[in-house]
Amino acid sequence: MDPIFRTNDGSNCPSADVSSVDARQRAFSQLLNKALIRVSVAVPDTAGFQITDIQDPYNCPETTATNPALYRRPLPAANLKFLSAVMWDGRETIFGAIPGKSLNLSQSLTNQAIDATAGHAQGAVQPTPEQLSQIVAFETALFSAQVNDQHAGNLTEDASGGPENLSGQESFIGINDALGGDPTGAAFNSNVFTLYAKWVNSHSPYRQSVARGEDLFNNLPIPITGVGGLNDALNQPVIMGTCTTCHDAPNAGNHSFSVPLAIGTTAYPAMPALDIAGLPVYTIRCNATGATVRVTDPGRALISGKCADIGKVKGPVLRALAARGPYFHNGAAATLEDAVEFYNQRFNLNLTQQQKSDLVAFLKTL
């Protein structure tokens, strides 16, 4: 009976049966199992595509071809200083975002607060300008990062982990952009994370593992293929990159420019490492070409109306990962091990078990 268990967004379907405890557990299964919130975004009237078929496990009458249901995890309300886009589909753009300047999130977060009050909270009255200002001031002052690790210990000891170090990290639109958009003209540096370099020679085997994982994240060669918004945008079937090609913002790990990508987390069928049970499947036909695609979330396309944006979502800031499972926008990776395995399968990396363990050890310290 907690307020989060409301049928307007917390349930699998707004008209779900909630007449008993058992019924409520079934109705809120995605929220209970993966912390997914149901969002409905209308297909734009001018969209260049149509939803032609829906496989909905809940047979929800409110889930339609013009108002599809999207099941997404709430994004963190901390580390907002590093954002280049707000919301998974980037529906709140960064107002006044000028390359080379500090991010101006105020208007975007103000709009988000208004929409969340009216939508999720079903508030009858819009917050006052003073209240909205207080909300934004509170959000933008929050920094969250892992400060201690069960095996590695204090993450600031001969290292730069923790939220205090993160709060002082420089950030602006386009900083270290791997696609050549850094407004300072600086060349892309794949060594995005520089938190644990000193641990290479640590007496602790686990700290050595963390340092190896950081180096792998920065420098492991990845043949990037089939990523919508990247390979097609650059007309390059294969881009030799690293994890930091997309997670390029120094010591934060998000993309420093607003570039929603389709890496395969919305695709149907899903990669074996992902669990998409309980998600609807949409068959979408592009008007111009007649081509069809099946996805569990149309992503950015519901905002832009463009067929090329089907399945695209933004990458999140990577700090405080240890406390944020399950992973990806739909919680399809239960653990960081599953998330690493997804990339291993997706890009045919042939990682050894030691490399996987090192990457997970590093990610758990963020």
Note the pTM of the prediction, 2 decimals.
0.93
Q: Considering the chain, what is the average pLDDT of its residues?
A: 93
Q: What is the pLDDT of residue 223?
A: 98
Give 272-315 pLDDT, tens digit per residue: 999 999 999 999 999 999 999 999 999 999 999 999 999 999 99
Residue (of 27, 91, 87) closest to 302 by Cα position:
91
Q: What is the pLDDT of residue 93?
A: 59
Q: State how far the Cα of 259 lies from the Cα of 264, in Å rounded to an integer.
A: 15
Task: Read off the pLDDT of each residue in 314-322 and give the average, rounded to a whole number.
Answer: 95
Q: What is the pLDDT of residue 129?
A: 94
Q: Tell me the percentage of the chain whose pLDDT exceeds 90.
A: 83
H/E segment holding residue 135: helix 129-140
**Tokens encoding 157:** 């000891």
Q: Which residue has the tokens 């008007």?
A: 287
Residue 111 phi, psi dihedral angles, 5° rounding: -60, -40
The pLDDT confidence band at residue 86, using thresholds 50, 70 and 90, is: confident
Q: What is the pLDDT of residue 102?
A: 45
Please list, residue by residue across 264-285, b when 16 or more beta carbons sit within 10 angstroms of its beta carbon and e when fewer do. Answer: bbbbbebbebbbbebbbbbbbe
Task: Read off the pLDDT of each residue in 249-273 and give the average, rounded to a whole number.
Answer: 94
Task: Read off the pLDDT of each residue in 329-339 and give the average, rounded to a whole number.
Answer: 98
Q: State how far the Cα of 355 lies from the Cα of 252, in Å rounded to an integer.
A: 22
Q: State how far the Cα of 331 lies from the Cα of 150, in Å rounded to an integer.
A: 24
Give 115-141 pLDDT, tens digit per residue: 888 888 889 999 999 999 999 999 999
Task: Read off the pLDDT of each residue in 17-45 and give the average, rounded to a whole number.
Answer: 97
Q: State how far the Cα of 129 lies from the Cα of 97, in Å rounded to an integer.
A: 22
Q: State how far the Cα of 317 lies from the Cα of 334, in Å rounded to an integer.
A: 18
Better pLDDT: 94 or 249 = 249
Q: What is the pLDDT of residue 101?
A: 46
Task: Flag the least confident range among 107-121, 150-164, 227-241.
Answer: 107-121
Q: What is the pLDDT of residue 92?
A: 67
Q: State how far the Cα of 276 lies from the Cα of 273, in Å rounded to an integer.
A: 10
Q: What is the pLDDT of residue 90?
A: 85
Give 133-180 pLDDT, tens digit per residue: 999 999 999 999 999 999 999 999 999 999 999 999 999 888 998 777
Q: Tell me the percentage of the chain whose pLDDT exceeds 70.
A: 96
Q: What is the pLDDT of residue 351?
A: 98
CB 261, CB 84: distance < 8 Å? no
The pLDDT confidence band at residue 97, using thresholds 50, 70 and 90, is: very low
Give 134-145 pLDDT, tens digit per residue: 999 999 999 999
Q: What is the pLDDT of residue 107?
A: 78
Residue 162 phi, psi dihedral angles, 5° rounding: 90, 160
